[in-house]
């Protein structure tokens, strides 16, 4: 099949921000419709799924609320989806919020007192809850009560609120930022890892079926291997390639169509986007391959250090393009090769 040339370089969806935007943007109704609702429909993360199934089965038999669970891992791997699956499997409501939204103790008290017995409270980016608010979570998680202060000065008094037995599902992309007291109160702490290509192919085929997008096996493989091991990225690529296939092919996503569309997005065969390559190139050309700090890299490429740490760095380390050392990030031989450069000669004199 002949694919028309990509002749619109100003396409707003093209460029360095596609992957970061896909992982940071709010979930749309279309994306929410693609989420599996049962463990049977969830592909990948076999160990995490088995652990959750054990906990759900035991909670059902005892007739008790589920114990608290902490899900960690890079964005886009299914932490929110698993929270909704837990609610569906248990037949309970899931209330959703995020760490930055809970700014003071009154916000937390409002969330907790509106829960019903057995409900699930899902807090995304739980590591970003202010420390003063986090301390109120301790008694809420252990004793299902919360003490808040009313008024100020001589009229100040403490009011104890009894809470229904609930389940806290915490999600974080940076588990190391959680304090030890909070982390220890989760019965299960489990990490989600990047998906392999065969599993992502299954997810791509399922999503295309739900969206009524015609795709062949080769097209699904092409999307899966460039999706950075992340289902959310894969689903966003499907939405773009559906438009691309309708405009510049015959509405069917084949391998040539998928390859041409992904080249338009500047996502190469290894799943690296332009921002990944900017990072690698800056490290190689400006800092001799490192070691160099992430804040320095962020200034060099014109991006927030937090975005690079949460979105780009985990994938680059997992795939062997970077490695972290006590002195900073260092480029590997694979990282040099990705930007068409060679490591500096080991015989080069050291200034220190």
pLDDT in tens, 138-168: 888 888 888 776 766 676 667 778 888 899 9
Report, as an integer, the average pLDDT of 75-87. 89
Is residue 267 pLDDT above 50, yes or no? yes
**pLDDT tens readout for residues 204-220:** 999 988 888 888 899 89
Catalytic residue, chosen from 124, 276, 281, 329, is 124
Question: Which of 14, 35, 79, 92 does the annotation list as catalytic?
Answer: 79
User: What is the C-alpha to C-alpha distance for residues 319 and 229, in angstroms, rounded to an integer?
Assistant: 10
Q: What are phi and psi of 28, to 5 degrees?
A: -85, 170
Q: Distance between CA atoms of 209 and 229, rounded to whole angstroms? A: 20
The tokens for 295 are 């804040």
Active site residue 80: yes
d(CA 282, CA 266) in angstroms, rounded, equals 18
Which residue in the list 95, 225, 226, 232 is annotated as catalytic? 232
Enclosing H/E stretch for 124: strand 120-124
Give the pLDDT mean for 335-348.
73
pLDDT score recorded for residue 11? 44
Note the pTM of the prediction, 2 decimals. Answer: 0.80
In order of 136, 140, 151, 162, the CA distances from 156 in angstroms are 18, 21, 5, 20
332 is known as an active-site residue: no
Q: Kindly tell me if the per-residue pLDDT of 12 is higher than 50.
A: no
* Predicted local distance difference test score (pLDDT) of residue 148: 73
Structure tokens at 52: 């959750």
CA distance 84 to 167: 12
The pLDDT score that the predictor gives to residue 324 is 86
Alpha helices in 172-215 (DSSP H): 180-183, 197-211
Confidence of residue 345 (pLDDT cuts 50, 70, 90): low
pLDDT of res. 52: 92
pLDDT for residue 99: 86
What pLDDT, on a 0 to 100 scale, did the predictor assign at position 70? 93
Interval 88-117 mean pLDDT: 86
Q: At what angle do helices 197-211 and 231-248 cross, to 10 degrees?
A: 50
Better-scored residue on pLDDT, 39 or 14: 39
116-144 pLDDT, tens digit per residue, is 888 899 998 888 888 888 888 888 888 88
- Tell me which of 22-31, 46-55, 272-281 is least confident: 22-31
Nearest to 120 by CA among 45, 56, 76: 56
Write down the pLDDT at residue 199. 93
Higher-pLDDT residue of 267 and 17 is 267
Residue 232 designated active-site: yes
8: left (phi over 0), alpha (psi -120 to 50) or beta: beta
The catalytic residue among 48, 80, 81, 190 is: 80
Q: 96-105, 124-133, 154-163, 262-271: lowest mean pLDDT where?
A: 154-163
For residues 181-209, average pLDDT: 90
**Which pLDDT does position 213 carry in this prediction?**
85
Show the tokens assigned to 194: 């990047």
Whether 124 is catalytic: yes
């Amino acid at each position: 099949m002949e694919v028309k040339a990509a002749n619109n370089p100003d396409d707003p969806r093209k460029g360095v921000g596609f992957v970061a935007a896909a992982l940071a943007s709010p979930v749309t109704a279309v994306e929410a419709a693609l989420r599996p609702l049962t463990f049977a429909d969830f592909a990948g993360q076999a160990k995490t799924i088995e652990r959750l199934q054990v906990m759900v089965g035991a909670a059902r038999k005892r007739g008790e609320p589920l114990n608290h669970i902490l899900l960690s891992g890079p964005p886009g791997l299914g932490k929110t989806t698993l929270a909704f699956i837990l609610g569906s499997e248990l037949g309970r409501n899931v209330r959703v919020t995020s760490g930055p939204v809970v700014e003071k103790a009154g916000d937390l008290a409002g969330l907790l007192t509106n829960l019903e017995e057995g409900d699930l409270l899902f807090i995304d980016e739980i590591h970003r809850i202010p420390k003063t608010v986090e301390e109120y979570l301790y008694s809420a998680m252990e004793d299902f009560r919360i003490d808040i202060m009313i008024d100020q000065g001589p009229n100040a008094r403490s009011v104890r609120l009894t809470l229904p037995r609930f389940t806290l599902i915490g999600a974080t992309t940076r588990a190391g930022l959680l304090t030890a007291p909070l982390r220890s109160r989760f019965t299960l702490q489990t990490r989600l890892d990047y998906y392999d290509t065969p599993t992502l192919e299954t997810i791509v085929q399922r999503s295309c079926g739900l969206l009524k997008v015609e795709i062949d096996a080769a097209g699904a493989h092409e999307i899966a291997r460039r999706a950075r091991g992340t289902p959310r990225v894969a689903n966003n690529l499907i939405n773009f390639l559906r438009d691309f296939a309708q405009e510049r092919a015959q509405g069917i996503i084949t391998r040539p169509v998928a390859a041409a569309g992904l080249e338009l997005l500047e996502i190469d065969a290894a799943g690296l986007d332009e921002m990944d390559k900017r990072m690698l190139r800056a490290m190689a050309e400006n800092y001799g391959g490192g070691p160099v700090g992430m804040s320095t890299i962020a200034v060099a490429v014109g991006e927030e250090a937090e975005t690079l740490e949460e979105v780009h760095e985990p994938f680059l380390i997992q795939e062997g393009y970077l490695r972290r050392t006590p002195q900073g990030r260092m480029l590997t031989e694979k990282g040099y090769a990705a930007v068409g450069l060679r490591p500096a000669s080991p015989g080069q004199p050291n200034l220190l």
